[in-house]
């Protein structure tokens, strides 16, 4: 049984970094959930464009960063490996290698065994 991977985050007015950030963590089997806090700089429109090519699920919620994170996390699939990202950062390749390794490792582990 394979675990799904959910990458989630919040965003507010990060039009200059959001695309590079998403591209740095994206893999075809990842679901990316983003909650936008009603950005006014074109971030929402950029995300709408990117949603066509990437596995992005978008929400809009007027909230604090913490409540936005919680909202995004609640939309991750149950029992998925979830990782929070800051959408103003570009991540190194090790991020996807590590999350893929952890997913594979735990998807083949006996559910009654604690590692």
* H helix runs in 26-88, sequence order: 43-50, 65-74
Domains of the chain: residue spans and CATH? 5-107 (3.90.550.10)
pLDDT digit string, tens, across residues 22-70: 998 888 888 999 999 999 999 999 999 999 899 899 999 999 889 999 9
Instruction: Give me the residues paired with residue 35 across strands.
Output: 10, 59
pLDDT of residue 29: 86
CB 33 within 8 A of CB 6: yes
pLDDT of 110 > 50? The answer is no
pLDDT of residue 92: 79
Question: What mean pLDDT comes out for the span 91-95?
Answer: 73
pLDDT of residue 1: 37
Instruction: Give me the residues paired with residue 30 across strands.
Output: 5
**pTM of the prediction?**
0.78
pLDDT of residue 99: 56
For residue 114, name the pLDDT band (cuts at 50, 70, 90): very low
Question: What mean pLDDT comes out for the span 76-82?
Answer: 86
pLDDT of 76 > 70? The answer is yes
């Amino acid at each position: 049984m394979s675990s799904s991977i959910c990458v989630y985050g919040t965003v507010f007015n990060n039009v200059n970094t959001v695309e590079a950030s998403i591209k740095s963590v994206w893999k075809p089997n990842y679901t990316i959930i983003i909650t936008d806090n009603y950005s006014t700089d074109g971030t929402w429109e950029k995300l709408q464009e990117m949603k066509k090519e990437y596995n992005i699920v978008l929400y809009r919620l007027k909230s604090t960063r913490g409540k936005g994170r919680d909202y995004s996390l609640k939309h991750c699939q149950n029992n998925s490996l979830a990782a929070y990202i800051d959408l103003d950062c570009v991540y190194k390749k090790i991020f996807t290698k590590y999350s893929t390794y952890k997913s594979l490792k735990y998807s083949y582990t006996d559910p009654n065994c604690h590692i």
